[in-house]
């Protein structure tokens, strides 16, 4: 199925063309649902292969090689291809047709997933319905054990984290604990 998804041309009209970026394996117990790959991920074909990925790995307490191991961590964004730039300057939202086209079929192939990190508003809205990201992240325990809502780990999250110190104090320790349980992490590396 991954070959079929990676050959998808439904978004061929995007500025950089169609190039689905994801990773998955039937053995993964942890799923990361983000919004869409950025330009670096598009170029490399590796999900979260940018500064946002570095920040997310720090939040999770996981080494890069382990994070990129599809046998342990599946990464399926709401939009599988880089959506281009928004008029406001950031990346455009994920294409609406992508998640309905592929998401459920992909998730059916991941029977061992125990927890999904909902990274950013687009992933949270798709899975949980409309709502405020900050409220969801603050109430993360309400969504456990199935979901763990997080802000998007872009450079913009630094200001948000300054305004919301509870995120580092309360949310990140629990995130790391749960990631370690699911992925058997020790000292930032999977065993």
Question: pLDDT tens track of the chain, all 191 residues?
Answer: 999 999 999 999 999 999 999 999 999 999 999 999 999 999 999 999 999 999 999 999 999 999 999 999 999 999 999 999 998 888 899 999 999 999 999 999 999 999 999 999 999 999 999 999 999 999 999 999 999 999 999 888 889 999 999 999 999 999 999 999 887 654 555 44
Residue 183: the pLDDT is 78
- What's the count of helices (H) and strands (E) in the chain, helices before strands? 11, 6
pLDDT tens digits, one per residue of 137-167: 999 999 999 999 999 998 888 899 999 999 9
Q: Are 14 and 82 in contact, with CB atoms under 8 Å apart?
A: yes
Triad 16, 56, 172: Cα angle to 5°: 155
Q: How many residues does the chain have?
A: 191
Residue 184: the pLDDT is 66
The answer to whether the peptide bond before residue 81 is cis (omega within 30 degrees of 0) is no
| 39, two tokens | 């330009």
């Amino acid at each position: 199925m991954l070959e079929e998804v990676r050959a998808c041309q439904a978004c061929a009209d995007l500025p950089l063309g169609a190039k689905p970026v994801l990773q998955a394996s039937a053995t993964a117990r942890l799923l990361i649902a983000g919004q869409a790959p950025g330009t670096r991920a598009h170029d490399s074909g590796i999900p979260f292969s940018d500064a946002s990925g570095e920040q997310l790995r720090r939040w999770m307490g996981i080494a890069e090689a382990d994070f990129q191991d599809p046998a342990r961590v599946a990464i399926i964004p709401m939009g599988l291809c880089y959506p281009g730039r928004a008029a406001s300057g950031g990346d455009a939202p994920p294409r609406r047709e992508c998640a309905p086209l592929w998401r459920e079929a992909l998730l059916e192939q991941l029977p061992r997933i125990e927890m999904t990190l909902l990274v950013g508003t687009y992933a949270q809205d798709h899975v949980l319905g409309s709502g405020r990201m900050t409220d969801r992240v603050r109430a993360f325990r309400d969504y456990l054990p199935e979901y763990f809502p997080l802000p998007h780990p872009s450079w913009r999250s630094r200001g948000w984290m300054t305004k919301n110190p509870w995120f580092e104090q309360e949310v990140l320790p629990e995130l790391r604990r749960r990631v370690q349980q699911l992925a058997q992490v020790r000292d930032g590396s999977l065993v």
